[in-house]
Structure 1
Amino acid sequence: MNKILTAIFLLCITACGAPNQMDRGDHLQDSDVTNTTDETVEGDFVFRLVSEKGAYEVGEEINLYGELEYIGDKEEITIHHSSSAILFPMREQTRGYEIDYPVNDIGLTTTLKKGSVTPYREKYAKSGGFSADQDPMDYVMFMEDFLNTDDFPPGNYIVHGVTQFSSDSGEDRDQQRFAIKATVNFKVID
């Protein structure tokens, strides 16, 4: 009886292992990509987040970008933002890892023109960080691999893009603050 209980216990432990220990190959092939483009309208602004593909192969460039368009009544408007008006924090769903998108500078401005053929666009550039002393070793190894190579490790990625900025709301110069969000996902397979 003890041997049977031990076998069941070991089977449960093996089946419930951490997501970073499982074989991701078949799982990634079968996973669905539900949204490669998202658009949110808030006030006088349109925020778009786009992954040009739903599935990339390891070694392939990830084409991910965000766009901010002004659709208000003025000919142009100046927005105030950090180092980028568009941020790309993401999560690797298979392992459950967060990949932050830190802010470096503050106090930058950009002028958006109404009806511009080319809206303000930011292409994704890799970023993120970890604490070798505080984060789990498997996360540290993943992030080192992620940051030290040009491509992405295999996985399911969900990007919670956000554009954060303020703009002058009129003659009284009150600042309106915006945090407009959009979400896309893609996968990287072997």
Structure 2
Amino acid sequence: MKNCFLLFALLLNLFIAGCSSPENINSNELKKLEMKKTTDQTIEDDFIFRLVSEKAEYQEGEEVNLYGEILYIGKKDEVIIHHSASVISFSAREEIRGYDIDYAVSEIGASTTLKKLGYPYRSGYDKGSVIKSPFDDNTEDYEKFIEELLEGDGFPLGYYTVKGIADFSAETEGDAEKGAYKMEATIEFKVVD
């Protein structure tokens, strides 16, 4: 009797694990999800940081167009900002599977001149900068997901949130640093079949 109970418990656990596998995304339920925030912006002092997904819904295999941009809206004609290799970095999460998609940014120091409103600094999301999350258990499913992400033209089927961070310091007319900025914005999109 005890062996039957153990066998039943083992089969039940395998059944539950199989049904809740993060790779089993219900495509019909995914299509019903409404994406509410494909654009977000933050304003701080003389700067606007904007994060944009050109669409709320992409088809599996379709290129996903995401970008962040910084606009200078101050009184001067231009301002110099100092930053790492890129002013803008991205982190993404596939919410149904719970997978984090980290983004590497080189710490190389650089400077960019921003002209007054109308000439934004723009940086697009680059899948070539994606790295495996050091915080995930890096399960076999996660490894397959990252491989599919990096090898395909678009993103795998799923519901994604993306956080963009603009991290820089600013100076005006060669003066000492005016201040450090770490501006954040978050958007969402989904990929359906």
Identify the TM-score tier after normalising by the shorter chain.
Answer: 0.7 to 0.9
Measured in 2, the distance between the counterparts of 1:109 and 1:98 equals: 30
Structure 1: where are the runs of 5+ without partners?
A: none
Q: What do you get for the CA RMSD once the two structures are aligned? A: 2.7
Report the secondary structure of 1:100's partner residue.
strand
Structure 2: where are the runs of 5+ without partners?
A: none
Matched, 1:36 2:41: no
Which residue in the other structure is 2:88 paired with?
86
> TM (normalized to structure 2)?
0.85
**How far did residue 172 of structure 1 move?**
5.5
Amino acid at match of 1:123: G
Measured in 2, the distance between the counterparts of 1:136 and 1:10 equals: 22
Percent identical across equivalent pairs? 45
* Residues paired across the two proteins, number: 188
Report the secondary structure of 1:46's partner residue.
strand
Measured in 1, the distance between the counterparts of 2:65 and 2:40 equals: 15
Which residue in the other structure is 1:188 paired with?
191
Instruction: Mark the CA change 1:19 to 1:165 in structure 2 (over 3 Å): closer, same or farther.
Output: farther
> Is the 8 Å Cα contact of residues 169 and 176 (structure 1) preserved in structure 2?
no
Matched, 1:20 2:55: no
Which residue in the other structure is 1:161 paired with?
164
> Is the 8 Å Cα contact of residues 36 and 188 (structure 2) preserved in structure 1?
yes
Instruction: Mark the CA change 1:161 to 1:19 in structure 2 (over 3 Å): closer, same or farther.
Output: farther
Measured in 1, the distance between the counterparts of 2:22 and 2:82 equals: 40
Instruction: Mark the CA change 1:41 to 1:141 in structure 2 (over 3 Å): closer, same or farther.
Output: same
Per-residue CA shift, 1:22-67, capped at 9, x if unaligned? 3331221122211001011011100011111100001211111111
> TM (normalized to structure 1)?
0.86
Report the secondary structure of 1:173's partner residue.
coil
Measured in 2, the distance between the counterparts of 1:9 and 1:169 equals: 67
Measured in 2, the distance between the counterparts of 1:131 and 1:186 equals: 20
